Amino acid sequence: MNKALDELFVYPKELVDEESKRVIHLVRQWADKEIISKRQEYRENYEKLFIETRKSLNLTIGLQRLTLPEEHGGFGWNNPANAPGIASILTEIGRADAAIGVAAAVKYTILAAITMAPNFDKALCDALAPVYCGEELKTFSLILPGMGNIGQDTPLFLGRSILASVEAESDGYVVNGKDLRPINSGAIADLFCVVCADKADKPCIALVPGDNANVVRGKTLLETGLNASSNADVSFNNVKIPKSYVISRQGVVEELYTWLNLLLGGVSVGTGMNFFEMVGDWSETRTIKGGYMMKENPLCASVLADVADEVFTSRLFLYDLAQTISKPNDWGQSGSQRVYTIAQVIGSKIQQNVMRAINRGLELMGSAGYSKEWHVEKHWRDIKTIQSYLCGVGAEAPVKMDTARFFFDCKDI
Amino acid sequence: MKNFDEFSKPEEYISPMDKHIRSVIRNWADKEVMPYRRKYDEDWKDHHIIEPAFDKLMGNSGIGLQKALFPPELGGWGIGQSDSAFTISCALAEEVGRADTAMAVAFMVTYWPLTTILVEPHVNWRLAKEFAPMFCNAEKAVFAANAMTEPQGGADIENLELTGGKTIRTVARLEGDEWVINGHKLWPTNSGGVAKLFVVPCTTKPGSTDLKDFAMIFVPAETKGVTQGGPYEKAGMAADKNSDIWFEDVRVPSWYRAHGPSMDAQIFREIIPWGLAASMGFMCGAMLNLYEILYDFVSTKTYKNKPLKEDDHIASIIGRIAGDIDICRILSYEAAKMGDRRNKPYGYPIYSDEVACKMRNLKDFVSDRAVDIFGKAMDVLGPYGADREYDIEKHWRDIKIIQLWMGGKQLCQMEAARYFFNCKTL
């Protein structure tokens, strides 16, 4: 591949300031040096290197503190205007390893509810930042509402069952919830962010420290992809948390969805870009029909074009969403119905596009694409896992309903 | 609809053996595979768990299916001489594929090279007698393999119409009454130390486009000069081992060539429809299992406090999934029947362009639908879609390679264009 990725997959560079570009460049260097240039070694020692590379990213470069305000020792990327920069960071991480990307995306999503202007909660940040964004690597886990079980009558968040509850008790809250399925890292999380219903069935979010004795984790799940993130079902059995650990402002759950769609979109775009690099190399080194370079065959070229097309448009969508989030005065806050809906529409589209790009590219790579040796199959599994999680319920049923509700003013769906 | 047996298959196409065979295999699948298949991914290299299940399916200690193609007088069941050989194969592929697609592949690929010498009208009795004891007298599973793909050209070897075999680099040289074979093959199912017998598509004259120079030669795996690499680690298909194979001055008797000049090229064209029909069977089996799992899931999980299946939007998705399964199954049996019509006055030889093109079309369509509906089903399951406990993701990983193999989607499209539009240069 002779051309630089950013010259091919263009994006509105003016959305990212020069300081942010330097951080993004650092992360690209990390990705190239620690993972992409040594894929084989990384694959063979995955469990060990997954932790080491996460540490170098989060502690040495310091990305664990990316979205903390400067006065809390962070980079100060805690303003919606930073959305394009944060999405860019996730793209660079996703290009290296989607599982590391998902862990980062979830962490920034949860922190966005705490640190992002105009809802910066100083007291909560004072309490959490030293513990969860300090000198040790800490993992966050997010539990969203989703499917219910037959026979249950649960409170709902826009159709999705809220399976956890909070109840006020003296000077704090008590959290309950059984066999909840997080997006990530249930087996190892240091801090959970769980969408709960309060006594009036109103949705809110609760932050639950993972070291509480009443947090019960199930066995680590084996999943299609992202296995390094060590997910597991979690139960909260009368877990007591401080009052400040519950955030119940209007639109806070929508904010989570907005940021999660942006940031997981960033991860998947990055993975798609790396897949593009791999399939590009493949198409230049393979011959078909007895000697023609694969990419020079019109049929193969059309498949390659599909790969490029899907990744290219996904990146544009990503920055469209980032720009929308970055301008609350124009489009509303991240928890507004408009931005929340747009985030879901674009988030879903990005996952579909990248999935299609990889599926198409695999058609050209054939068996090699299926073999772990060539690394692309990991991208394929990881993206499908992200997509399935983001679908939530019934193949995006809630996303479709949210979209129809916003665009057509549906009242009863 | 409560039972996956109710998905359509043209009843008039079904062989009299269908019900019995299905019942026996389903019993095996439910007992020997379904309870253990989630552990197969970790068993990809050693097959400690997988191998005993194969023995009970294929060996004489179990059902003994590995001998099914051989004539009864050689100890087999005579399916190779049956008018329903393709249809029975489709049912076998489906039933085993329902439990585990990779097992279905490994098992059915054992038949694949043997079809060249055991299926009417091309029975090679001398070779059939030679290899019958290997398969018919074995208590444990015995596998065969078709060592086709080569490193430099991928699926080029399957594009014999265009290349005429000129890209083949595995060479067989006749020395006295022996073939001496040299070459390197990749990816055959049942390589990696599994197969006891290979058929090796090769050329007797490197660079030649004369199909008389194309040969298919049987090579027992223990023959001196045959070296197999370790199995590849893959995204799925753990029960199917694949590796590199090197043939270095490998000597076999001259009569181990399947049928001889010209006929070998025709036979090679004939094995393609077998592979395509079986591929459709594998995918239909997996899809039937998808239906079973999905039925349970959408009946017990809720959206807006109602079962998923009772939500109009979700119902439209699962309805489409079920509809696609139904259509794919009908198409698969139509493909099988196309093969079974090969000896009928109204049928076409399975080496014909007609059959090659139409079977590739059907396989391409069924593959696309299967890949799509498995992806969609994982989305229906949402956070549980990627969870191994639900098995759908295993099928999703497994079936992807079926879409990619045998020349993949693009070769299917080229065959269709050549046939329907008389393209001359593709």
Q: B62 by DSSP, 3-state: which?
A: coil
CB-CB contact of A109 with A256 (8 Å): yes
* DSSP state for residue A224 in the 8-state scheme: S
Enumerate residues 6+ apart whose C-beta is below 8 A from A85: A16, A17, A20, A23, A24, A77
Largest pairwise CA distance in chain B: 78
Which CATH number is B334's domain given?
1.20.140.10
Q: How far is B112 from chain A (nearest CA, A)?
A: 19
Please check whether residue B105 lies inside any domain of the structure.
Answer: yes
Q: Both tokens of residue A216?
A: 């019960």
B387-394: average pLDDT: 96
**Distance between alpha carbon B160 and the CA centroid of its chain, in Å?**
20
Write down the pLDDT at residue B287.
98
B413/B364 same-domain check? yes
B137/B197 same-domain check? no
A316/A403 same-domain check? yes
Q: How far is A167 from chain B (nearest CA, A)?
A: 22
Per the structure, the complete domain to which residue B241 belongs is given by 155-256
Of A73, A108, A138, the last residue of a domain is A138
Q: How far is B189 from chain A (nearest CA, A)?
A: 11
A149/A275 same-domain check? no
Confidence band, pLDDT 50/70/90 cuts, at residue B165: confident
Enumerate residues 6+ apart whose C-beta is below 8 A from A304: A279, A280, A283, A295, A361, A364
- In the chain, the amino acid numbered B266 is Q
Among the partner-chain residues B317, B378, B410, the one whose CB lies closest to the CB of A299 is B410
Confidence band, pLDDT 50/70/90 cuts, at residue B34: very high
Please check whether residue A116 lies inside any domain of the structure.
Answer: yes
Confidence (pTM) = 0.95
B235/B267 same-domain check? no
A242/A260 same-domain check? no
Please check whether residue B426 lies inside any domain of the structure.
Answer: no
Q: Is B406 on the interface with A (CB under 8 A)?
A: no
Strands (E), B86-165: 143-146
CA distance B110 to B143: 5
Of B142, B167, B182, the last residue of a domain is B142
> ipTM value of the model?
0.95
Confidence band, pLDDT 50/70/90 cuts, at residue B13: confident
Q: Is the pLDDT at B159 greater than 90, yes or no?
A: no
Enumerate residues 6+ apart whose C-beta is below 8 A from B351: B266, B267, B269, B270
B412/B299 same-domain check? yes
Interface touch A150/B307, C-beta < 8 Å:
yes
Cis omega before residue A69 (within 30°)? Answer: no
B26/B50 same-domain check? yes
Partners of A300 on chain B (C-beta within 8 Å) are 410
CA distance A327 to A41: 42
Which CATH number is A73's domain given?
1.10.540
CB-CB contact of A20 with A88 (8 Å): yes
Partners of B378 on chain A (C-beta within 8 Å) are 224, 384, 387-388
Q: How far is A125 from chain B (nearest CA, A)?
A: 30
Enumerate residues 6+ apart whose C-beta is below 8 A from B304: A156, A159, B311
Give me the DSSP letters along B234-266: BSS-TTS---EEEEEEEEEEGGGBSS-TTHHHH
Q: Which residue carries 């690499």 as its tokens?
A: B229
A14/A133 same-domain check? yes
Q: How far is A28 from chain B (nearest CA, A)?
A: 27
Enumerate residues 6+ apart whose C-beta is below 8 A from B260: none
Q: In angstroms, what CA-CA distances link A113 with A104, A140, A254, A385?
A: 15, 13, 10, 24
User: Reduced to 3 DSSP states, what percent helix, strand and coil does chain A have, rounded to the nearest 5?
Assistant: 60, 15, 25
Cis omega before residue B121 (within 30°)? Answer: yes
Interface test with A, best of B44, B156, B314, B387 (most A CBs within 10 A): B387
B94/B241 same-domain check? no
B93/B32 same-domain check? yes
Which CATH number is A370's domain given?
1.20.140.10
Among the partner-chain residues A221, A288, A397, the one whose CB lies closest to the CB of B153 is A288
Q: Is the pLDDT at B155 greater than 90, yes or no?
A: no
Q: Which of B204, B5, B201, B189 is nearest to B110 (CA)?
A: B189
Q: How far is B373 from chain A (nearest CA, A)?
A: 11
CA distance B359 to B353: 10
- Chain A residue with minimum CA distance to B383: A389
A265/A389 same-domain check? yes
Please count the CA atoms within 13 angstroms of the CA of B294 that sit on its side-chain side: 32
Interface touch B156/A384, C-beta < 8 Å:
no
B78/B225 same-domain check? no
Which CATH number is B240's domain given?
2.40.110.10
Enumerate residues 6+ apart whose C-beta is below 8 A from B240: B102, B103, B105, B106, B109, B189, B190
Q: How far is A302 from chain B (nearest CA, A)?
A: 11
Q: Is B232 on the interface with A (CB under 8 A)?
A: yes
**Distance between alpha carbon B165 and the CA centroid of its chain, in Å?**
23
A257/A400 same-domain check? yes
Ranking A219-223, B133-137, B315-319, B403-407 by mean pLDDT, the lowest is B403-407
CB-CB contact of B170 with B198 (8 Å): no
CB-CB contact of A247 with A121 (8 Å): yes
Write down the pLDDT at residue B411.
87
B197 vs A292, higher pLDDT = B197
A146/A231 same-domain check? yes
Of B225, B256, B287, the last residue of a domain is B256
CA distance B122 to B268: 12
Interface touch A363/B403, C-beta < 8 Å:
yes
Q: Both tokens of residue B104?
A: 């279905």
Q: Is the pLDDT at B16 greater than 90, yes or no?
A: no
pLDDT digits (tens, 9 = 90+) for B92-109: 999 999 999 999 999 999
Q: Is the pLDDT at B20 greater than 70, yes or no?
A: yes
Q: Is the pLDDT at B47 greater than 90, yes or no?
A: yes
CA distance B230 to B66: 24
Q: In angstroms, what CA-CA distances link B144 with A369, B60, B169?
A: 25, 16, 22
Interface touch B383/A389, C-beta < 8 Å:
yes
CA distance B198 to B151: 17
Q: Which residue carries 């990619």 as its tokens?
A: B404
Confidence band, pLDDT 50/70/90 cuts, at residue B424: confident
Partners of B156 on chain A (C-beta within 8 Å) are 288-290
Give the count of domains, chain A: 3
Q: Is the pLDDT at B9 greater than 80, yes or no?
A: yes
A271/A386 same-domain check? yes
Cα torsion angle, B253, B258, B259, B265, sign? negative
Please check whether residue B148 lies inside any domain of the structure.
Answer: no
Q: In angstroms, what CA-CA distances link A142 with A103, A111, A188, A238?
A: 10, 11, 12, 19
A267/A382 same-domain check? yes
CB-CB contact of B241 with B228 (8 Å): no
Among the partner-chain residues A148, A221, A366, the one whose CB lies closest to the CB of B305 is A148
Ranking A245-259, B155-169, B365-379 by mean pLDDT, the lowest is B155-169
Question: What percent of chain B shows pLDDT beyond 70?
Answer: 97
Per the structure, the complete domain to which residue A260 belongs is given by 252-408
Partners of A387 on chain B (C-beta within 8 Å) are 378-379
Please check whether residue A334 lies inside any domain of the structure.
Answer: yes
Please check whether residue B147 lies inside any domain of the structure.
Answer: no
Please check whether residue B204 lies inside any domain of the structure.
Answer: yes
Please check whether residue A374 lies inside any domain of the structure.
Answer: yes
B29/B49 same-domain check? yes
Q: Both tokens of residue B254?
A: 């001259």
Give me the DSSP letters along B19-60: HHHHHHHHHHIIIIITTTGGGGGGGTTT-TTHHHHHHHHHST
Q: Which of A134, A137, A140, A142 is nearest to A58 (CA)?
A: A137
Q: Both tokens of residue A185?
A: 């890292």
Q: Both tokens of residue B109?
A: 């690929």
Give the count of domains, chain B: 3
Write down the pLDDT at residue A1.
60
Partners of A160 on chain B (C-beta within 8 Å) are 303
B241/B280 same-domain check? no
Segment holding A205, helix H or strand E: strand A203-209
Q: In angstroms, what CA-CA distances link B164 with B148, B171, B262?
A: 15, 15, 12
CA distance A189 to A184: 8
Q: Which residue carries 């059939």 as its tokens?
A: B128
Which CATH number is A166's domain given?
2.40.110.10
Interface test with B, best of A300, A370, A385 (most B CBs within 10 A): A370
B190/B309 same-domain check? no
Q: Is the pLDDT at B329 greater than 90, yes or no?
A: yes
Helices in B125-232 by DSSP H: which ranges? 125-136, 160-163
A99/A158 same-domain check? no
CB-CB contact of A175 with A165 (8 Å): yes
Q: What's the whole-number average pLDDT of chain B? A: 94
A73/A19 same-domain check? yes
Please check whether residue A413 lies inside any domain of the structure.
Answer: no
Among the partner-chain residues A154, A303, A395, the one whose CB lies closest to the CB of B317 is A395
Please check whether residue B333 lies inside any domain of the structure.
Answer: yes
Q: Is B187 on the interface with A (CB under 8 A)?
A: yes
A175/A102 same-domain check? no
Which CATH number is B12's domain given?
1.10.540.10
Please check whether residue B150 lies inside any domain of the structure.
Answer: no
Strands (E), B260-419: 301-303, 306-307
Of B91, B109, B142, the last residue of a domain is B142
Q: Both tokens of residue A89?
A: 């960071």
Write down the pLDDT at residue B121.
83
Interface touch B397/A369, C-beta < 8 Å:
no
Q: Both tokens of residue B412?
A: 């299917």
Please check whether residue B149 lies inside any domain of the structure.
Answer: no
Q: Is the pLDDT at B158 greater than 90, yes or no?
A: no
CA distance A292 to B170: 20
B271/B336 same-domain check? yes
Q: Which of B127, B282, B97, B21 is nearest to B119 (CA)?
A: B127
Q: Is B361 on the interface with A (CB under 8 A)?
A: no
Q: Which residues of chain A, if any, have pLDDT below 70? A: 1-2, 290
Please check whether residue A403 lies inside any domain of the structure.
Answer: yes
CA distance B217 to A3: 47
